[in-house]
Amino acid sequence: MNLSTDHRSNFESSNINTHVSSAIIFYGFASEAHTEPTVESEIFKALERAKLLVGSRKEACYSRCGRTDKGVSATGQVISLFLRSNIKDAGLDVVDKESEIDYVKVLNRILPRDIRVIGWCPVAADFLARFSCLGREYKYLFWKGDLDILEMQKAASKFIGEHDYRNFCKMDAANVSNYRRQITDLNISAYDQRTNYDELWAITIKGSAFLWHQVRCMVAVLFLIGQGLESPCIVDSLLDITKTPRKPQYKMAPELPLILRSCLFDEVNFTCSSDAGQALIEHLKDEYHQYMLQAAIFRETFSCLSVPEPNSFEPRHKKRNHIPLMSRQTEPSYEERVAKVKTKSVLHNVLVIQHQGPIF
């Protein structure tokens, strides 16, 4: 294998983070101190083992399109970095993909079963997966139960457009000063899968970029509306930062049903060899069948119970003891958080100055 030439590659990958005991539980996508394994750390281990890396991670100009939390899955995550190549001095328009290293095949032989590379593409040297991305699509799956979908759809339409989402995220005042984001589409629709007593639905959200925990916060409020605990106009109130400068305290939607569905780029066409593609299909079929078997085991357990199955028309969400969002305790505002960060910074600088002299 000729590894003498480097070029910049763009990878599309899929990671399934699950709570099934036989699977690896990843601590999200991004590598952090003392939190392994992560999807990112496993990818770099595979790259090192396959001897595909060019220098250090910093020298490889690594960039990820997004970061997913622990328990969140991705079917269209994208990363970019410099990798070793069989192609010498070739432009993007003349790359012979048949002669190139079969990155998908090589890496999928090494990666854990819950992480798959599904395609690669040569890109320009200044391409960055994070900043070159034009849009991202998330999908959140949920069981309909007794949720009022029409009310949820009324509320969902209010998110369309550019708004300040500081009341729909985990605020990071130390690193983020602009909380305006644009939602281009938000659709709530049936997922074409059901059981004897419930139906699976999906919330699909598209936008240019998203804040930390933004999707899960938006979904949480939509669920409160679907349960009849809040009116759709609560979205207007939370998007109005003049009226609501501090975020009411509320619990985010669970992480497990959330999927980073896809990332949109201009003139980026992922490729996969026929051999690697067939192996990928077989792998996904096998994984799907294994999870279907586990689901069948749970269904078999239902048949062994003497208690009746739940009534699909019986409300499962209790409306008692609900405190309206606008009456709840609030988190610090952005301005209050920034002031706290500045205070810590000043205190740190004072301590550093005090320790600059000799110690006896």
Are 185 and 160 spatial neighbours (Cβ–Cβ below 8 Å)?
yes
Residue 19, Cα to own-chain centre: how many angstroms?
A: 16
The CA-CA-CA angle for residues 313, 232, 198, to 5°, reads 25
Residue positions counted in the chain:
360
Give one DSSP letter per residue of 83-106, joined into a string: EEES--S--GGG--TTTS--HHHH
Alpha-helix runs per DSSP H in the chain: 39-49, 103-108, 149-157, 214-226, 234-239, 274-304, 334-354
Q: What share of the chain is helix, strand, coil (3-state, %, to 5)?
A: 30, 25, 45
- Residue 132 has what DSSP assignment? S
Q: Which residue has the tokens 């010498």?
A: 88
Paired sense of beta strands 73-85 and 199-207, if any: unpaired
Of the candidates 69, 102, 148, 236, the residue annotated as catalytic is 69
Residues 226/149, Cβ–Cβ less than 8 Å = yes
Q: Are 85 and 125 in contact (CB under 8 A)?
A: no
Residue 23, classified by CB atoms within 10 Å of its CB into exposed (0-12), middle (13-18) or buried (19+), is: middle
- Cβ 75 vs Cβ 261: under 8 Å: yes
69 is catalytic: yes
Burial class (CB in 10 A: 0-12, 13-18, 19+), 89: exposed
Catalytically active residues, by annotation: 69
